[in-house]
Amino acid sequence: MENAAQPRIRVVAGLPMYNEEETIGTVITKVLEHVDEVICVDDGSSDSSARIAESCGAKVHRHRINRGYGGALKTLFSVAKEMDADALIILDSDGQHDTEDIPQLISPILSGDADFVIGSRFINGGSSQEMPAYRRLGIKVITAASNLSSDLDIKDTQSGFRAFSKLALDRLRFDAEGMELSLEMLEDAHEKNLKIKEVPTIIRYDVPKGSNFTAISHGFTVLTWALLSLSQKKPLLVLGLPGMGLFAAGAAMGLNAVNQFTDSVDYLVGPGLTAIWVGVLGLSLIATGLVLQSARNFIRHLLIREFGLD
């Protein structure tokens, strides 16, 4: 007979998986040493990943069409909630993440110290093995851009080695399909007052297939998301600053054209018109920035006053 009085802690590992037959077996075997259940989400891999995963003891969920990394994470969140998991740990199927660090990521969740734990390369004790320099630079740029729009100060915003509490599973909502999800989740967690913590880990790049994405496509998608989010949060900064630059350039060009007026009237028309256009564009950017900023402030105050939301 089952002992219903004994509550058991359930730790579930979630592995997004796309054509990882070379590594998935070893990863699952090692992960199972630290968790109760391993769930893989397969997005139509054309290799034997799913068969190997099942034979190594994982449950495999298949998407009929490719829903991207973000889609895989949505499925993992809903499966973990259905299983009533106390913690969900997400890691790559390609062997980049060190399974020996799983307990360090899970323990702040189980002790109630954090709801969202990130395995970080860039805090004391963490590092990356053989990460190409251009990837490191890209991650630094993305992290700087995302820290401009929030005061989170997360050092490694691009690590896919992450653990979530039950509360985080209930509260977090995300829409992104690709790697921009990394930032969307962090912002959502911040807005919902979830406790976020980074613990050091080593992420390897000397694996057979470390990435499905080129550094350029990863960088471009995530950076675009960071800038869009920044322009929604701080429109005056994003529009007003280039606006002021353009206005100043327009004014300088205008002055230059007027100085040459004495030489010939013909000289004035071309540069003068350009100066006016550039200046007007600058002014309208500033004006748009101001309008959006005050609309944002107005809506925020309204939400706080009416619903107590912040």
Ligand X SMILES: Nc1nc2c(ncn2[C@@H]2O[C@H](COP(=O)(O)OP(=O)(O)O)[C@@H](O)[C@H]2O)c(=O)[nH]1
CB within 8 A of 216, min separation 6: which ones? Answer: none
- Among Mg ion, ligand X, none, the one that 213 touches (CB under a kind-dependent 5 to 8 A) is ligand X
* Residue 118: CB atoms within 10 Å: 27
Show the binding pattern over residues 184-213: x = contacts Mg ion (CB under 5 A), - = does not.
--------------------------xx--
Instruction: Supply the minimum distance, in Å, between the C-beta of residue 80 and ligand X.
Output: 15
Q: Are 219 and 158 in contact (CB under 8 A)?
A: no
> At 11, which helix (H) or strand (E)?
strand 11-17
Among 69, 116, 161, 247, binds ligand X (CB under 6 A): 69
**Strand 116-120 with 11-17, pairing:** unpaired
Between 154 and 257, whose beta carbon lies closer to ligand X? Answer: 154
Show the binding pattern over residues 59-98: x = contacts Mg ion (CB under 5 A), - = does not.
---------------------------------x-x-x--
Based on the shown chain and the rule CB under 6 A, indicate whether residue 96 belongs to the binding site for ligand X: yes
Based on the shown chain and the rule CB under 6 A, indicate whether residue 267 belongs to the binding site for ligand X: no
Show the binding pattern over residues 133-172: x = contacts ligand X (CB under 6 A), - = does not.
---------------------------x------------
User: Of 203, 181, 213, 214, which Cα lies nearest the Cα of 95?
Assistant: 203
DSSP 185: H
- Among ligand X, Mg ion, none, the one that 66 touches (CB under a kind-dependent 5 to 8 A) is ligand X
Between 2 and 130, whose beta carbon lies closer to Mg ion? Answer: 130
Longest dimension (CA), the chain: 102
Between 86 and 180, whose beta carbon lies closer to ligand X? Answer: 180
* Residue 182: CB atoms within 10 Å: 27
Q: Which region, judged by CB under 6 A, interacts with ligand X, from 28-36, 76-84, 93-101, 272-280? A: 93-101
CA separation for the pair 223, 226 (Å, rounded): 5
Based on the shown chain and the rule CB under 6 A, indicate whether residue 14 belongs to the binding site for ligand X: no
Q: Which region, judged by CB under 6 A, interacts with ligand X, from 87-95, 104-112, 145-153, 281-289? A: 87-95
Interface with ligand X (CB under 6 A), residue total: 21
Q: Are 143 and 156 in contact (CB under 8 A)?
A: yes
Among 11, 12, 13, 17, binds ligand X (CB under 6 A): 17
Task: Assign 16 to helix, strand or coil.
Answer: strand
Among 14, 25, 68, 289, binds ligand X (CB under 6 A): 68
Contacts by residues 241-245 (CB-CB < 8 Å, ≥ 24 positions apart): 242/282, 242/285, 243/281, 243/282, 243/283, 243/284, 243/285, 243/286, 243/287, 243/288, 243/289, 244/282, 244/286, 245/282
Q: Name the site residues for ligand X (rule: CB under 6 A).
A: 16-18, 20, 41-43, 66, 68-69, 72, 92-94, 96, 160, 210-213, 218
